[in-house]
Amino acid sequence: MKYRNVISAIFIERPNRFIAICDIDGKMVKAHVRNTGRCRELLISGVKVYLEISDQKKRKTGYTLIAVEKGDKLVNIDSIAPNKVVLETLQNGKLKLPHLGKPDIIKPEKQYNDSKFDFYLESDNKNAFVEVKGVTLEEDGIALFPDAPTERGIKHLKELIKAAAEGYEAYIVFIVQMKGVSSFSPNVKTHPEFGKELNRAFESGVHILCLDTIIEANCIALGEPVPVVL
């Protein structure tokens, strides 16, 4: 996934979850934050960030905040990037899901009961649902999700468990939006119920996958599998 017209800036503050105030060579600008997570360990006043210049004249903000430097790591915080990267790799067959071949049919945003999963797949007479979660929180080399309590995440896990019980292949795929993590775990300190439900999903036959990403200022690509520690 590539971005266009990317420039660097200095992050100043985040007055609300949708807006970041950034400094571009002394000029204060508003940038859209396409991530509703807290990102408190990332969006610290004075850090270097990367903005995509918008080509939509009717937008209230002329920029979108897409990445931030965290020490020697570059972290993508664009919440739509994980789905786009997964879609690209499903289409070109580079993302191998357990018990499923290259999909013959890929349908994004597929309704199932009271939830809408990111992807519905059909391959070799098998049907599958895939839910994708972007991960931007890292502590001591461990990628953690979520960075804030997520009732929506709990609901998705419960629906994936139902889908697995009905004979679908069910997957939750965590996309770590950075390189350099050693493992992934549920963030039980922030949301213990999510950790419990993720364990229940695993015991119920839901496939839990995690992959890192290759991040540059103007692009993001799927990387390598990351060990999942429940």
Mean pLDDT in consecutive groups of 10 residues from the start of the chain, 230 residues: 96 96 97 92 97 86 96 96 96 92 94 93 94 97 96 96 97 98 97 98 98 96 97
The reported pLDDT for the residue numbered 114 is 85
Per CATH, which fold does 6-76 belong to?
OB fold (Dihydrolipoamide Acetyltransferase, E2P) (2.40.50)
For 103, 107, 198, the CA distances from 159, given in Å and listed in that order, are 21, 18, 12
Q: How many other CB atoms are there within 10 angstroms of residue 185's CB atom? A: 18
The reported pLDDT for the residue numbered 120 is 98
Is residue 48 within a helix (H) or strand (E), and if so which, with residue range?
strand 48-53
| Residue keyed to tokens 């007479």 | 125
| Six token digits for residue 20 | 């970041």
Q: How many other CB atoms are there within 10 angstroms of residue 173's CB atom? A: 21
| Six token digits for residue 118 | 């990111």
| Residue keyed to tokens 């997520």 | 150
| Six token digits for residue 8 | 């660097």
Strands (DSSP E) found in 77-198: 105-112, 115-123, 126-135, 137-139, 142-145, 169-176, 183-186
The reported pLDDT for the residue numbered 173 is 98
Which residues, including other chains, have CB under 8 Å from residue 175's CB and lie 6 or more apart?
81, 82, 85, 86, 132, 133, 134, 135, 210, 211, 213, 222
SS3 89: helix
Please, are residues 127 and 170 in contact by the beta-carbon 8 Å criterion? no
Q: What is the rounded CA–CA span in Å between residue 46 and residue 10?
A: 6
Q: Model confidence over 33-91: pLDDT tens digits?
A: 999 888 999 999 999 999 999 988 778 899 999 999 999 999 999 999 999 999 999 99
The reported pLDDT for the residue numbered 227 is 98
Domain ranges, ordered by start, for the chain: 6-76, 81-225
Q: Is the dihedral of CA 194, 85, 225, 98 positive or negative?
A: positive
Tell which CATH classification among 2.60.120.260, 3.10.310.30, 3.40.1350.60, 3.40.50.460 matches the domain 81-225: 3.40.1350.60
